[in-house]
A and B are shown apart, each in its own frame.
Chain A
Amino acid sequence: MSGHRLFRFPKPAWLNSANTRTAGVYTAGALFSLGFFAFIDAAAFSKSPKNGSDPPIHINFVDWIPGICSALGMLVINSIDKNRLNGDSFSYSGNGVAWKARLVLFLGFALMAGGLAGSVTVMVLKYIVPDYPFPTLWFGVANVVANAMIMLSSAVLWVAQNMEDEYTYNLAL
Chain B
Amino acid sequence: MTAGLKTIIALSFVLAIGFLLIILSSALWQNYFPLLVAATYVIAPLPNWICSRAASHDDFMESSGNGIVDFGRFFTGFLVVMGIALPALLAHCGIIVFQAMVMSIFGGLLIYGTIISFTMFFQEEQDF
Contacts and interface: CB of A to CB of B under 8 A. Distances in A.
Contacts of A36: 78
B70 A44 contact: no
Given A29-B74, A33-B81, A37-B85, A48 B93 contact: yes
B82 interface: yes
Interface in B64-99: 64-65, 70, 73-82, 85-86, 88-89, 92-95
B120 interface: no
B89 A41 contact: yes
Contact of B81 (A30, A41, A171): A30
B3 interface: no
B61 interface: yes
Contact of B77 (A30, A37, A48, A168): A30
A130 to B, nearest CB: 23
Contacts of A157: 70, 74
A160 to B, nearest CB: 8
Contacts of B74: 25-26, 28-29, 32, 157
A37 B92 CA distance: 12
Given A34-B85, A157-B74, A48 B95 contact: yes
Nearest to A163: B64
A62 interface: no
A104 B76 CA distance: 27
A34 B78 CA distance: 8
B93 A26 contact: no
B7 to A, nearest CB: 24
A168 B61 contact: yes
Contacts of B76: 26, 29
A25 B82 CA distance: 16
B123 interface: no
B93 A44 contact: yes
B2 interface: no
Given A37-B82, A49-B94, A27 B77 contact: yes
Interface of A: 18, 21-22, 25-30, 32-34, 36-37, 40-41, 44-45, 48-50, 157, 160-161, 164, 167-168, 171
